[in-house]
């Protein structure tokens, strides 16, 4: 068994209103030894001998913010936290901050700005990074500030502040912002470049320069004039106090960027909603016009965002550690995703041997010390999670005495922690507006690290208790303390003065950050993305069990968003993010500058792969959405490990079950007798998990239910629909393929129906009525007829060139004389089965065109993002869920019209096959 996680000071890789909850306090707690919350309490002073936030030398620190921000809770664990948390006492400014596409670092003279576009692979090939490298520094003439402070912030933007007594400078920077917006006084605008700039455009107050191969535009107020002297560029501001700069995707983009140069971003807000199985989120920038009336702007979307938006995007792109960023010309965009499934436990299945399971349950329930001697927040949390996993399992097989014993153990330990004055308690820090559990661990006290990891287990365990004992979970009982932990880690309120908004979750990056201070050259980091989603899933369960739909929906948004970020940035599911030079299929840690095949405490491949899987619960089902990535991940682990897992075999068996349940169960059957469970696991839970999925099949993300606590599993042609009803009356759950399931009150129910192979990546839309669905037939035919002979057509190679968006030697399938009435709100859909054989680096692309009247002119043309196939055995499914790359024209009724499908290789140097003659390769048009 590996040693417990340790978090060294250096990088191992290289070295809401309160009414939302109905709780007080409205501000920092009143001076009192104990703050009561329902039946529980927390302290407002740390236990004797305990520490709070400190520098690396142990000196206590308070937030480094301006007077204007002193009454606001500081959102620690962010991409810019080093502005406010001076972890290293000799750096009063900041460490590098990775906003993407730009990078930044505060210095005495102003803000360093860079745009890293070439990755470096370091640490024996175990880390890739687009490290910050200064292209230029934005400042004022003569500025020499002793420190830099956080002056203002919003959901993904921040305003650093400099003052030297004579000059002041404020800049606004953020995720996705190609601009830096500056306000200064006491000096001229000054840009100092790392090397002598090449000027490509001089329009007086607008200057285009190239530095280190990167193109920038500088914007001063109208009437000003930029002067270039060597590597120093300056402009007088006159009676104005503003100027800006932008990194350009090309010199030809100057005119477009100039349009928005004086529309200064002043804030950013993410809003989300959950309805009927779908999560929607809108990301909005607020702006003010410094000149003219333009209030729009440009913002660059990350891959996990543009994959799920239908909003128009420009042709402009940027390089980033998260793959290509695409530019939107608007102050807002909206994403939509099918919600990630969550269950309190896997449902009952016939394949589970109840006698064997009962024996394993008794091993845990009757242990001399079910908490294994753990006393700190993290390891106590792991033990709570381990017990909570088994409560619904015991209930399923009628072991009510064991269930109640486990519930009693969980309640007892939670109540100890939820009561101030004992050996374990939570303490509130009024300076940092945070709740810290003591005994602390892994810098959760001195660095404010990992609160979302630690507390996820407490909220999850409390949610399981609430499922069986609602009175215990009432605010007036112990639920108030649960909600206080939620306020610390995932507060949905922006007006709560006691805790910051979503402390660790970065709404724009799509995932959480673990470090409270962000004091690393590589930016902030997160290792265990799965412990982050454990908190989100716990919010879904807690909110469902207590009737708090706002928390339930928050958890659904966080889980659904982060699940895509994990797939793309930890597992490189589409093989479009990691640089080819990295040479790994998975990352143990994601950094602001890149990612690393590493953990904080070991280089053992089992832990590198497993740390982003554990704990495995009913909130982990999203991991089954990208089955090819799971298989690549397991294969890499075994290559790096020199064979199958030994230490964390249970975690990795469970991970494999998301793609290949029968294989995982066979590994359990062969090896379950002689292994020690991972500290947060038990043989009872692992056996129940593997035996259940072996019976029901892997999670099927192509179908969702209309409540968050629902899921679908597919084995062969049979789908199993599952849902848990937390309500006091029976209800019917409707699934996106039209199936319904009647679920009794406070119960889990299952039902079956015919389905498809869940092996491909998800395609979210159900089959529409026949008559709208066209099979592909060899010879270029689209037909509504069924019962064809299965075959395939060869997709020509891209020849090593890039044909993204432009058909190249395409396969063409067409149907003419089509009549149909456009269905309001409907959209084109397709499912195409592709097989790249053993070829790597291929990407197939589809374009669908509609000639509404058959006159030879296509009135609507839709081009979809290409699908990166894998060298895995069997067919992979390409669907419209990849998202629109571009669309021209509008749809209307078809009158003798023509519909055409084109499929070609957008990238790659090999051929592939496209399946024909089956109902698994189809085009669905939005017509009745």
Angle ∠(171,89,154) on CA atoms, nearest 5: 30
* Rounded Cα gap, residues 386 and 380, in angstroms: 10
- Taking every pair of Cα atoms in the chain, the longest distance, rounded to a whole number of angstroms, is 84
Show the tokens assigned to 736: 């996106």
* Rounded Cα gap, residues 121 and 128, in angstroms: 4
* Rounded Cα gap, residues 755 and 769, in angstroms: 16
pTM above the 0.85 mark?
Answer: no
Cβ–Cβ < 8 Å for 197, 259: no
Give 401's contacts (C-beta < 8 A, 6+ positions apart). none
Residue 251 DSSP class = G
Nearest partner of 547 among 499, 620, 619, 475, judged by Cα: 475
What residues of the chain score a pLDDT lower than 70? Answer: 1-32, 755-771, 786-787
Q: What is the DSSP string of 26-40?
A: SSSPPS-SEEEETTE
Show the tokens assigned to 506: 């970065």
pLDDT of residue 753: 85
Show the tokens assigned to 209: 């320069």
Burial class (CB in 10 A: 0-12, 13-18, 19+), 779: exposed
Nearest partner of 694 among 686, 684, 682, judged by Cα: 686
Show the tokens assigned to 183: 């306000």
* Rounded Cα gap, residues 720 and 267, in angstroms: 45
Show the tokens assigned to 485: 């932990």
Structural element, H or E, at residue 887: strand 884-889
Nearest partner of 696 among 716, 725, 670, 669, judged by Cα: 716
Give 226's contacts (C-beta < 8 A, 6+ positions apart). 202, 204, 205, 206, 207, 218, 220, 233, 234, 235
* Rounded Cα gap, residues 127 and 597, in angstroms: 6
Q: For residue 269, how many other CB atoms are within 10 A of its CB?
A: 17
Q: Beta strands 434-438 and 317-318: pairing type?
A: unpaired
Give strand ranges (E) for 100-156.
103-107, 110-114, 120-122, 127-129, 136-140, 148-153
* Rounded Cα gap, residues 359 and 367, in angstroms: 12
pLDDT of residue 673: 82
What are the Cα distances from residue 724, in Å, to 377, 447, 508, 544, 687?
30, 39, 31, 10, 21
* Rounded Cα gap, residues 512 and 837, in angstroms: 37
Show the tokens assigned to 553: 């929906």
Show the tokens assigned to 164: 């030297």
**Catalytic site positions:** 450, 527, 531
401 preceded by cis ω (within 30°)?
A: no
Cβ–Cβ < 8 Å for 63, 81: no
pLDDT of residue 755: 55
647 preceded by cis ω (within 30°)?
A: no
pLDDT in tens, 344-401: 999 999 999 999 999 999 999 999 999 999 999 999 999 999 999 999 999 999 999 9
Cite the DSSP H helix spans in 625-681: 627-641, 649-656, 661-671
* Rounded Cα gap, residues 216 and 915, in angstroms: 47
Q: For residue 678, how many other CB atoms are within 10 A of its CB?
A: 26
Cβ–Cβ < 8 Å for 219, 245: yes
Q: For residue 71, how many other CB atoms are within 10 A of its CB?
A: 10
Burial class (CB in 10 A: 0-12, 13-18, 19+), 201: middle
Backbone angles phi, psi at 217, to 5 degrees: -120, 135
* Rounded Cα gap, residues 305 and 333, in angstroms: 9
Q: Beta strands 179-185 and 168-174: pairing type?
A: antiparallel
Round to the nearest angstrom and report the end-to-end CA distance of the chain.
Answer: 60
Torsion angle of C-alpha atoms 711, 715, 716, 722, degrees rounded to 10: -30
Q: What's the full length of the chain, in residues?
A: 928
* Rounded Cα gap, residues 91 and 907, in angstroms: 46
Q: What is the DSSP string of 303-367?
A: HHHHTT--S---S-EE--TTS-EEEEESSEEEEEEEPPP--SSPPP-TTS-HHHHHHHHHHHHT-
* Rounded Cα gap, residues 605 and 640, in angstroms: 6
Angle ∠(459,464,467) on CA atoms, nearest 5: 125
* Rounded Cα gap, residues 905 and 626, in angstroms: 22
Show the tokens assigned to 472: 């215990």
Q: For residue 901, how many other CB atoms are within 10 A of its CB?
A: 23
Burial class (CB in 10 A: 0-12, 13-18, 19+), 607: buried
Q: For residue 742, how many other CB atoms are within 10 A of its CB?
A: 12
Cβ–Cβ < 8 Å for 587, 506: no
* Rounded Cα gap, residues 379 and 413, in angstroms: 12
Give strand ranges (E) for 668-784.
698-699, 710-715, 718-725, 731-734, 740-743, 747-754, 773-777, 781-783
What are the Cα distances from residue 402, in Å, to 343, 360, 397, 590?
21, 11, 10, 40
Q: For residue 205, how many other CB atoms are within 10 A of its CB?
A: 17
Q: What is the DSSP string of 192-210?
A: EESSPPEEEEE-SSEEEEE
């Amino acid at each position: 068994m590996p040693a417990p996680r340790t978090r060294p000071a250096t990088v191992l890789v290289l070295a809401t209103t309160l009414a939302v909850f109905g709780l007080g306090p409205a501000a920092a707690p009143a001076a009192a030894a104990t703050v009561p919350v329902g039946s529980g309490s927390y302290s407002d002073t740390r236990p004797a001998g305990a520490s709070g936030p400190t520098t690396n030398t142990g000196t206590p620190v308070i937030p480094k913010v301006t007077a204007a921000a002193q009454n606001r809770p500081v959102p620690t664990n962010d991409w810019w936290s080093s502005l406010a948390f001076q972890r290293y006492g000799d750096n009063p400014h900041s460490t590098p901050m990775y906003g993407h596409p730009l990078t930044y670092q505060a210095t005495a003279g102003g803000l360093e700005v860079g745009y890293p576009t070439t990755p470096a692979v370091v640490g024996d090939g175990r880390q890739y990074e687009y490290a910050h490298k200064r292209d230029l520094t934005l400042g004022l003439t003569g500025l020499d500030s002793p420190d830099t402070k956080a002056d203002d912030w919003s959901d993904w933007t921040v305003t650093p502040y400099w003052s030297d007594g004579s000059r002041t400078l404020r800049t606004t920077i953020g995720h996705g912002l190609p601009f830096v917006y500056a306000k200064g006084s006491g000096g001229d605008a000054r840009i100092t470049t790392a090397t002598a700039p090449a000027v490509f455009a001089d329009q007086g107050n607008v200057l285009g320069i190239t530095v280190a191969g990167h193109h920038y535009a500088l914007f001063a107020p109208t009437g000003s004039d930029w002067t270039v002297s060597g590597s120093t560029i300056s402009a007088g501001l006159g009676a104005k106090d503003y100027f800006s700069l932008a990194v350009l995707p090309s010199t030809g983009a100057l005119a477009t960027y100039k349009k928005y140069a004086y529309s200064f971003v002043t804030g950013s807000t993410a809003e989300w909603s959950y309805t009927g199985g779908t999560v929607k989120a809108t990301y909005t920038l607020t702006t003010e016009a410094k000149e003219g009336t333009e209030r729009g702007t440009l913002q660059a979307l990350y891959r996990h965002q543009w994959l799920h938006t239908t909003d128009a995007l420009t042709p402009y792109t940027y390089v980033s550690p998260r793959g290509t960023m695409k530019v939107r010309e608007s102050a807002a965009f909206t994403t939509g995703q099918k919600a990630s499934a969550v269950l309190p436990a896997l449902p009952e299945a016939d394949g589970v041997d109840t006698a064997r399971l009962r024996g394993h349950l008794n091993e845990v329930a009757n242990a001399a010390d079910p908490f294994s001697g753990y006393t700190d927040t993290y390891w106590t949390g792991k033990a709570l999670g381990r017990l909570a996993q088994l409560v619904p399992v015991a209930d399923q097989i009628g072991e009510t005495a064991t269930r109640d014993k486990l519930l009693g153990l969980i309640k007892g330990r939670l109540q100890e922690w939820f009561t101030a004055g004992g050996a374990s308690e939570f303490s509130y820090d009024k300076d940092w507006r945070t709740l810290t559990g003591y005994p602390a661990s892994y810098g959760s006290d001195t660095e404010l690290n990992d609160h979302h990891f630690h507390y996820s287990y407490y909220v999850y365990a409390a949610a399981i208790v609430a499922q069986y004992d609602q009175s215990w979970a009432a605010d007036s009982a112990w639920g108030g303390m649960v909600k206080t932990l939620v306020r610390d880690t995932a507060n949905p309120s922006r007006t709560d003065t006691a805790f910051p908004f979503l402390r660790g979750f970065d709404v724009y990056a799509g995932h959480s950050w673990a470090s409270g201070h962000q004091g690393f050259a590589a930016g902030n980091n997160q290792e265990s993305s799965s412990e982050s989603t454990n908190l989100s899933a716990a919010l879904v369960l807690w909110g469902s069990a207590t009737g708090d739909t706002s928390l339930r929906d928050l958890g659904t948004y966080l889980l659904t968003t982060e699940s895509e970020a994990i797939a793309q940035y930890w597992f490189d599911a589409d093989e479009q993010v990691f640089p080819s030079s990295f040479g790994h299929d998975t990352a143990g840690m994601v950094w602001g500058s890149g990612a690393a095949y590493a953990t904080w405490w070991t280089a053992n491949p089992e832990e590198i792969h497993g740390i982003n899987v554990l704990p495995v619960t009913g909130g982990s089902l999203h991991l089954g959405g990208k089955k090819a990535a799971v298989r690549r991940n397991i294969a890499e682990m075994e290559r790096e490990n020199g064979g199958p897992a030994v230490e964390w075999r249970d975690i990795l068996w469970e991970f494999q079950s998301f793609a290949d349940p029968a294989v995982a169960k066979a590994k359990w059957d062969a090896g379950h007798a002689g292994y020690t469970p991972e500290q947060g696991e038990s043989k009872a839970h692992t056996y129940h998990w593997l035996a259940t999925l072996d019976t029901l099949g892997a999670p099927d993300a192509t179908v969702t239910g209309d409540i968050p606590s629902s899921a679908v599993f597919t084995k062969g042609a049979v789908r199993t629909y599952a849902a848990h009803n937390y309500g006091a009356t029976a209800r019917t759950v409707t699934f996106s393929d039209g199936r319904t399931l009647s679920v009794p009150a406070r119960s889990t129910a299952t039902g079956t129906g015919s389905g498809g192979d869940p092996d491909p990546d998800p395609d979210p839309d159900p089959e529409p009525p026949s008559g709208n669905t066209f099979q592909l037939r060899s010879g270029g035919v689209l037909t509504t007829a069924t019962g064809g002979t299965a075959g395939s057509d060869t997709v020509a190679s891209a020849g090593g060139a890039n044909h993204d968006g432009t058909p190249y030697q395409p396969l063409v399938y067409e149907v003419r004389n089509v009549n149909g009435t456009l269905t309001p709100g409907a959209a084109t859909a397709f499912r195409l089965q592709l097989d790249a054989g053993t070829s790597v680096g291929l990407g197939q692309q589809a374009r669908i065109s509609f000639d509404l009247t058959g006159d030879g002119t296509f009135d609507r043309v839709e081009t979809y993002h290409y699908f990166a196939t894998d060298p895995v055995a069997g067919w992979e499914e390409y669907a419209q869920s990849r998202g629109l790359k571009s669309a021209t024209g509008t749809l209307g009724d078809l009158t003798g019209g023509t519909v055409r499908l084109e499929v070609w290789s957008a990238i790659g140097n090999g051929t592939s096959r496209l399946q024909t003659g089956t109902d698994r390769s189809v085009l669905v048009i939005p017509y009745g």
